[in-house]
Structure 1
Amino acid sequence: MRCEAVSVAEIESQLKNGAFVLVMISSYRLNGDKAPHWVVVTAFDELCFYLHDPDTDKLTISELDCQYIPVAKEDFAKMINYGSTRFSVALFFKQQ
């Protein structure tokens, strides 16, 4: 276990090495709420990170709409820092 700021580069590195990445984000850029929110980062490419977001609105979207949501890397870098202290949390899960 390490306690240090989370970076986009670290998330990319962990994904390349086969880790599952659970990240706390600010949901403001997704839905306008200034609240912490957990998402799973499933992949990335040159332009985007792809998220699975468990927070579905059952009336307007399906569970499938909440998988592989593309988020521009520039926006994602802002989303992973929460609040006025720019707090960041990520959990990396790897099979041994």
Structure 2
Amino acid sequence: MNTIDLQVEGMSCGACVKHVTQALQPLPGVSGVEVDLQSGRVKVSGELAQGSAPLLMALTDAGYPATLAIASSTSSATSQPKAAGCHSGGTGGCGCR
């Protein structure tokens, strides 16, 4: 079992946690998703043979741009473009803003 830690932008409420979880849970190999709303961190566990790329893409597509989390810093190893979603002016449907 692997674990990938992500730093996710734009999460501000319980609906965001639900949307992030729903974006990741159906992906192949994902067996668990733990979201820490306060820190913006998401821990994904499972048999993640494809690595972080599908996770980052799914979150970006859902309107929550993400990067790999680095333990001692919030800077990213991989930058992702901002996608249209509820926190970037699109129609993610969150409703918290």
Q: TM-score, normalised by structure 1?
A: 0.26
Structure with the largest fraction of strand: 1
Q: TM-score, normalised by structure 2?
A: 0.26
